[in-house]
A and B are shown apart, each in its own frame.
Chain A
Amino acid sequence: MPKVKIDVLESTCVPLPLENVDTDQIIPARFLSATSREGFGDNLFRDWRYAKTGEKNENFVLNNPVFGGKVLVAGKNFGSGSSREHAVWAIFDYGFRAVISSFFADIFMNNALNNGLLPIVISDDLLKKLQVLIQKDPGTKVKIDLEKQTLTFLSTGDSVKFNINPYKKECLLKGLDDIDFLLSMKSQITSYENNKSLA
């Protein structure tokens, strides 16, 4: 697992106001044959981004030069479906560092946190407001402060606290890794096994 540190992020946003965007859309299965974690960004949202002929689909938001930034503003139930971590790798590799939605699928949420991609849950109403702000002014910036757990719309001053598991927050702020943590517990794991086999 890569060790990624996050603290404060200030960026413009890319809007994708669709519901139930599943991991097959984020990275189609036919691109899962790689054996490393790198390079998946090229095929992020492949079938929405490119026509079958390989030409860019100009109507898709990633191909619209007006929008850009490190924050993807998605719709409800983002990342549903397959457990493929490749979906998170693709979003991260493309350059996003946070995804904002009103609702994430469970496995996607875990995968994102394990790779330093910050999933931020806000209310449906606030999400709609942010989508409108970005559509009106693509220069709209948000500020994400992980330490304070705040998301601020810089143009309007709206500021909201978001939830994150305190353990995960600590890991992301310090760039710590779950595996290092688990490896440090080896003797405790072994004694659990021993107790269990006696039971």
Chain B
Amino acid sequence: MSPKTLFDKIWDSHVVRSIEDGPDVLYIDRHYIHEVTSPQAFNGLKERGIPVFRPDKTIATADHNIPTKDQHLQIRDELSRNQVERLSENCKKYGIELYGLNDPRNGIVHVIGPELGFTLPGMTIVCGDSHTSTHGAFGTIAFGIGTSEVEMVLATQCILQPKPKKMKITLEGKLHKGITSKDIIMYIISEISASGATGYFVEYCGSAIRSLSMEGRMTICNMSIEMGARGGLIAPDEITFSYLKKLPSLKGISNFNNALDEWKKLQSDPEAIYDKELTFNAESIKPMITYGTNPGMGMAIDDSIPMSDVKDNKASSSFIKSLDYMGFKPGMKLLGHPVDYVFIGSCTNGRIEDFRAFAEVIKGRKKADSVTALIVPGSKKVEEQMASEGLTEVYKNAGFEVRQPGCSSCLAMNEDKIPQGKYAVSTSNRNFEGRQGPGARTLLASPLTAAAAAITGRITDPREFIKE
């Protein structure tokens, strides 16, 4: 048998049928849904008069448009309230498990899936959300889908999907102090551009990837979509297995050791062929920040904004438009630039490790008066853990208020909007125009860089705050 990549092994074992010259019919093990991209799919089922085919394989949460304050009160915005209510009605009607608002297990879909033991190695996982790629950290094929595809999965537990090409990204070497998984993925995206992996599914390999915790790996896989990739995955190893072993329960697993034997097989064969292979050196990575309006427009924090996006040539109109929006000029340095808002949270950096990193910088210091900070845990569990580890207290003493979980300012569907023209250092995943509110200017960065900005009120190299 010819050698196979891990991606091929998982994909091929989930093909119910291959259509000649067409997409594959792919079986889906886990389907996550939320309030924003599911209502039209349920409408479709209703119009056809059909049930959800396998309701036990779909799990729902409310996260995108919910408030992060006073969650016990009725949602003020009528349209958001209606969407959240529709989700509850649909879940009830079709027999789907809902971890909704005020449920102690509620949170961002890509944070609760792993922490509740729903995301398991070797699975196919989809959700009407592009950051579904997060779950690839567990050695799964996980990717975002549109609402028509949500309807397909609800109706048949399958999806029609052309098989993507395969890319291997290897990161070798040792990371410097103060460099996080967020810097790694922002570095890779800045090297290959926001569309550099379109059409591919990425496998991340190498010693620097292996050294990361599950939280760190989730941050890497999460942002695969920001370089255009369909998804990204990391083969499971002892770090994965020990994370899973510590969870209170694993859905559908009755005997851990039997499952473990299967999971250990989930590796690419040594001779497996990828359509493209890229190698990077972990030692070249510095704290990263974005200066433009797509995640490919990133640089080391102590660098200057490039003069052009076209090598040895005049900048494109898209590049100029992007810098104009940000209020920046080519060649400018960003260190020392004033910051108005800081946001830590989202499915990219809303896990306990991220809040620990942020706390490491702010402990014993005070938030700059000029900065408004949005501190938003990714889930109820993260919120609880912050309190029990004493982090909530550290945040409070430094002048920060911890909010309730949700997607919040990452996409600003709720009230957590950054005002027109203001600069926000955000640990989220997208710096698109208006992403955090109309006219908002987003600078993507790691939790450490966000914390340094929150303390100084300026773009600051976080290494100044990290003890050697």
Contacts and interface: CB of A to CB of B under 8 A. Distances in A.
Most-contacted residue by chain A among B132, B160, B296 (CB, 10 A): B160
Contact of A182 (B128, B130, B152, B318): B152
A106 B132 CA distance: 14
Contacts of B318: 18-20, 75
B149 A77 contact: no
Contacts of A82: 129-130, 144, 411, 430
Interface in B427-444: 430, 432-435, 438-439
A33 interface: yes
A167 B19 contact: yes
A183 B321 contact: no
A33 B151 CA distance: 18
B129 A32 contact: no
B434 A182 contact: no
B438 A83 contact: no
A179 B151 contact: yes
Nearest to B40: A37
Contacts of A84: 36-37, 146
A196 B158 CA distance: 14
A185 interface: yes
Interface in A28-72: 28-30, 32-37, 47, 52
A76 interface: yes
Contacts of A155: none
B22 interface: yes
A103 to B, nearest CB: 6
B156 A22 contact: no
B22 A168 contact: yes
B199 interface: yes
B133 to A, nearest CB: 10
B21 A165 contact: yes
Contacts of B225: 81
A130 interface: no
Contacts of B155: 179, 182-183
Interface stretch (B74-82, B102-110, B363-371, B460-468): B74-82
A12 to B, nearest CB: 23
Interface in B397-425: 411-413, 420
Contacts of A106: 164, 198-199, 228, 230
B23 A165 contact: yes
Most-contacted residue by chain B among A88, A114, A165, A179 (CB, 10 A): A179
Interface string A174-196: 00001101110110110011001
A74 to B, nearest CB: 11
B307 interface: no
Interface in B178-198: 194-195, 198
A181 B160 contact: yes
A97 to B, nearest CB: 17
Interface in B127-168: 128-130, 132, 144-149, 151-152, 155-158, 160-162, 164
Contact of A29 (B21, B164, B413): B413
A105 to B, nearest CB: 6
A107 B145 contact: yes
A98 to B, nearest CB: 18
Nearest to A76: B195
Nearest to B321: A18
B306 interface: no
Interface stretch (B43-51, B353-361, B384-392): B43-51
A2 B151 CA distance: 12
Contacts of B65: 32-33
A30 B413 contact: yes
B145 A83 contact: yes
A24 interface: yes
Contacts, number: 183
A71 B391 CA distance: 54
Interface in A77-124: 77, 80-86, 88, 103, 105-107, 110-111, 114-115
Given A179-B44, A183-B156, A1 B430 contact: no
Contacts of B198: 77, 103, 105-106
Nearest to B36: A32
B228 A185 contact: no
B37 A83 contact: yes
Contacts of A18: 317-318, 321
Most-contacted residue by chain A among B43, B149, B430 (CB, 10 A): B149
Most-contacted residue by chain B among A33, A34, A84 (CB, 10 A): A33
Given A35-B40, A80-B195, A52 B317 contact: no
Contacts of A157: none
B156 to A, nearest CB: 4
A111 to B, nearest CB: 4
A186 B156 contact: yes
B316 interface: yes
Contacts of A17: 317
B17 A185 contact: yes
A35 B23 contact: no
Given A17-B317, A52-B438, A114-B149, A35 B48 contact: no
Interface string B76-115: 0101101100100000000000000000000000000000
Nearest to A25: B433
Contacts of A76: 195
Contacts of A107: 130, 144-146, 230
27 contacts: A1-B44, A1-B151, A19-B316, A22-B430, A33-B65, A35-B86, A36-B39, A36-B40, A47-B438, A47-B439, A75-B318, A82-B129, A82-B430, A85-B37, A85-B147, A105-B228, A106-B198, A106-B228, A106-B230, A107-B230, A165-B22, A168-B23, A179-B48, A179-B151, A185-B16, A185-B17, A196-B27
